[in-house]
């Protein structure tokens, strides 16, 4: 095999992002040299028309390539990055607990993506959210019960893939029992092997059995499986457990290698080599990949093959699994405007039925006083980004200075831990004579009067209609 052949194989395992709203020349040239995939992020979007032009530009140059996004629905959205998702998200779907509703939500997402020519969706999140204070999973999970999560994961995968878009269950072997974010650190899971088998691994086993096209690794250390290596770099996790025990034969995709949990100490090129050697097939490089960074990763993989650090057979296997994934889910464009306007959205009444209410909330809703909704900005995680969220996304909030005498007030926030300013503001408003409740637009952490289990536009419209 020539050096050019090896370089093309290496390019066939990489999935960079890029900066800007049109494809840079280096990326288009990379397709000519074997690049098989590109990942789009919210920062690549300024309008659906522009996104349509961008996808058409990519497809013209690389008709067989994988175009991917993180479109989970709910809080994590790329297609609806400018306004918020028209789907409620996993936690709400899990609480509705209707597999058909979950499958329909995924199919609606799939139809939207397919209309743009996007054929790989880095979803669903199959994590069991077993730590309430988890800073990065939370409402992205279908719930805290493994069987429940497994059932809805399968429904989501089936709905998406029936729409012609490959699914990618994440974050293997399970990011739900962590209290740090792998974007910023290297989390560690200390659960026993027995607990892992019955909790974390269960949804992924179900997804593999249901024919999920791909599974994404996580940059976490799982002591009971491999205490020395993050899952993304662990042959034990990716080959012995995922391939061997779970019988998964699809493509293994890495979470973004620019995350601290992957490359914080060794750099992205070294992380890419380690991931391929461990058994990963498609490497997500990051959202702001430059031409220089892409070439450095490509050079690193080629050099690793030349030195023997990365067996050529492993690189060949990875590139072929990626090619098979693309062949199994060929792109098909369409009238994206029609797909967006015709998306099936769960009934707001069904969404509201999943909310949790305190006794004070019931009294507040029965109070006939005029209502004001105040939203407190809350720092979010990298996966969510800067998507409009909560009641503010509907345009029906007021600043606290705009609250007038006689109004009852709902304070909306998310991640409402004990130190959140929502609690002090609520006390101040009550002292000023306002009937006041606090709304948690995320996973419950205790104390809120209403919990919505999500902050997407779909959930927020249902919430505001209730409050107002």
Alpha-carbon span 33 to 5, nearest angstrom: 10
Asked whether residue 200 carries a pLDDT value surpassing 80, the answer given is yes
Domain 348-467 in CATH 3.40.50? The answer is yes
Q: How far apart are the first and last CA of the chain?
A: 68
pLDDT at position 182 is: 59
Cα atoms in the Cβ-side hemisphere of radius 13 Å centred on 140 = 28
More confident residue, 356 or 219: 356
Asked if 316 contacts 54 with a C-beta cutoff of 8 angstroms, the reply is no
Asked if 218 contacts 275 with a C-beta cutoff of 8 angstroms, the reply is no
Asked whether residue 121 carries a pLDDT value surpassing 90, the answer given is yes
Place of tokens 């991640």: 415
pLDDT at position 258 is: 85
Of 248, 318, 244, 238, residue with least CA distance to 283: 318
Alpha-carbon span 40 to 70, nearest angstrom: 8
Alpha-carbon span 191 to 203, nearest angstrom: 16
Residue 393 CA to its chain's centroid (Å):
20
pLDDT at position 366 is: 97
Average pLDDT over residues 431-451: 96
pLDDT at position 342 is: 60
Among 100-109, 188-197, 262-271, 393-402, the minimum mean pLDDT is found in: 262-271
Ranges of CATH 3.20.20.300 domains, the chain:
3-341
Cα atoms in the Cβ-side hemisphere of radius 13 Å centred on 398 = 14
Asked if 374 contacts 397 with a C-beta cutoff of 8 angstroms, the reply is yes
Among 52-61, 70-79, 254-263, the minimum mean pLDDT is found in: 254-263
Alpha-carbon span 317 to 310, nearest angstrom: 12
pLDDT at position 185 is: 63
Average pLDDT of every residue of the chain: 93
Global pTM exceeds 0.85:
yes
Q: Within a 10 A sphere around the Cβ of 123, how many other Cβ atoms?
A: 29
Alpha-carbon span 126 to 172, nearest angstrom: 8
Average pLDDT over residues 449-453: 98
pLDDT at position 183 is: 64
Average pLDDT over residues 226-239: 95
Alpha-carbon dihedral sign for residues 183, 188, 193, 196: negative
Average pLDDT over residues 409-418: 95
Asked whether residue 379 carries a pLDDT value surpassing 80, the answer given is no
pLDDT at position 389 is: 95
Among 149-163, 166-180, 235-249, 447-461, the minimum mean pLDDT is found in: 166-180
pLDDT at position 130 is: 83
pLDDT at position 382 is: 76
pLDDT at position 332 is: 85
What is the β-pairing status of strands 188-189 and 120-121? unpaired
Average pLDDT over residues 217-240: 94
Q: What percent of the chain has pLDDT over 90?
A: 84
Confidence of residue 343 (pLDDT cuts 50, 70, 90): low
Alpha-carbon span 162 to 148, nearest angstrom: 21
pLDDT at position 184 is: 63
Query: Reading across the β-sheet that carries 66-69, which strands appear in turn?
Result: 37-39, 66-69, 120-121
136-183: pLDDT as tens digits:
788 999 999 999 999 999 999 999 999 999 999 999 998 877 665 556
pLDDT at position 111 is: 94
pLDDT at position 211 is: 98
pLDDT at position 10 is: 98
Alpha-carbon span 63 to 66, nearest angstrom: 9
Alpha-carbon span 44 to 57, nearest angstrom: 13
Alpha-carbon span 268 to 423, nearest angstrom: 42
More confident residue, 178 or 419: 419
Asked whether residue 367 carries a pLDDT value surpassing 80, the answer given is yes
Among 1-5, 181-185, 290-294, 407-411, the minimum mean pLDDT is found in: 181-185
pLDDT at position 391 is: 97
Ranges of CATH 3.40.50 domains, the chain:
348-467
Q: Which residues are catalytic?
A: 183, 255
Strand partners, 61: none
Strands annotated E in 19-123: 37-39, 66-69, 120-121
Alpha-carbon span 239 to 353, nearest angstrom: 42
Alpha-carbon span 352 to 356, nearest angstrom: 9
Asked whether residue 22 carries a pLDDT value surpassing 70, the answer given is yes
Average pLDDT over residues 404-421: 95
Q: Is 340 exposed, middle or buried (0-12, 13-18, 19+ CB in 10 A)?
A: middle
Domain boundaries 3-341, corresponding CATH code: 3.20.20.300
Asked whether residue 305 carries a pLDDT value surpassing 60, the answer given is yes
- Pair of tokens at residue 379: 């720092």
pLDDT at position 176 is: 77
Asked if 344 contacts 105 with a C-beta cutoff of 8 angstroms, the reply is yes
75-102: pLDDT as tens digits:
999 999 999 999 999 999 999 999 999 9
Of 139, 152, 128, 125, residue with least CA distance to 355: 139
């Amino acid at each position: 095999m020539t050096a050019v052949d090896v370089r093309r194989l290496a390019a066939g395992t990489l999935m960079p992002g890029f900066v800007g709203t049109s494809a840079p020349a280096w990326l288009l040239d990379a397709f000519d040299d074997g690049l098989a995939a590109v990942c789009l992020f919210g920062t690549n979007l300024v309008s659906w028309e522009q996104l349509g032009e961008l996808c058409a530009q990519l497809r013209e140059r690389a008709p067989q390539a994988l175009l991917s996004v993180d479109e989970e629905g709910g809080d994590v959205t790329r297609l609806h990055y400018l306004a918020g998702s028209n789907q409620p998200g996993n936690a709400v779907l899990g609480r509705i607990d209707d597999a058909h509703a979950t499958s329909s939500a995924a199919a609606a997402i799939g139809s939207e993506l397919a209309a743009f020519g996007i054929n790989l969706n880095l979803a669903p999140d199959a994590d069991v959210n077993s730590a309430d204070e988890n800073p990065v999973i939370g409402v992205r999970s279908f719930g805290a019960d493994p069987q429940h999560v497994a059932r809805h994961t399968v429904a989501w995968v089936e709905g998406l893939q029936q729409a012609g878009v490959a699914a990618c269950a994440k974050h293997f072997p399970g990011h739900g029992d962590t209290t740090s974010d792998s974007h910023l650190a290297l989390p560690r899971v200390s659960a026993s092997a027995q607990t892992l088998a019955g909790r974390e691994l269960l949804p992924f086993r179900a997804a593999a059995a249901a024919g999920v096209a791909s599974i994404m690794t996580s940059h976490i250390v799982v002591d009971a499986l491999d205490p020395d290596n993050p899952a993304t770099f662990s042959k034990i996790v990716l080959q012995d457990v995922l391939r061997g025990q779970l019988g998964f034969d699809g493509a293994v995709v890495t979470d973004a290698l620019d995350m601290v949990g992957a490359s914080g100490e060794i750099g992205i090129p070294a992380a890419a080599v380690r991931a391929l050697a461990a058994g990963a097939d498609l490497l997500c490089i990051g959202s702001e990949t430059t031409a220089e960074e892409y070439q450095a990763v490509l050079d690193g993989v080629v050099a690793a093959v030349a030195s023997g650090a990365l067996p050529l057979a492993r690189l060949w296997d990875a590139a072929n699994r990626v090619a098979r994934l693309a062949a199994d889910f060929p792109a098909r464009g369409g009238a994206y405007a029609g797909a967006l306007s015709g998306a099936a959205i769960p009934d707001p009444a069904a969404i509201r039925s999943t909310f949790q209410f305190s006794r004070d909330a019931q009294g507040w809703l029965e109070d006939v006083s005029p209502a004001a909704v105040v939203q407190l900005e809350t720092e979010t995680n990298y996966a969510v980004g800067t998507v409009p969220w909560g009641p503010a996304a509907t345009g029906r909030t007021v600043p606290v200075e705009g609250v007038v005498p006689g109004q009852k007030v709902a304070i909306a926030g998310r991640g409402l831990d004990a130190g959140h300013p929502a609690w002090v503001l609520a006390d101040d408003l009550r002292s000023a004579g306002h009937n006041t409740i606090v709304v948690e637009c995320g996973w419950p952490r205790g104390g809120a009067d209403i919990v919505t289990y999500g902050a997407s536009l779909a959930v927020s419209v249902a919430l505001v209609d209730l409050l107002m």
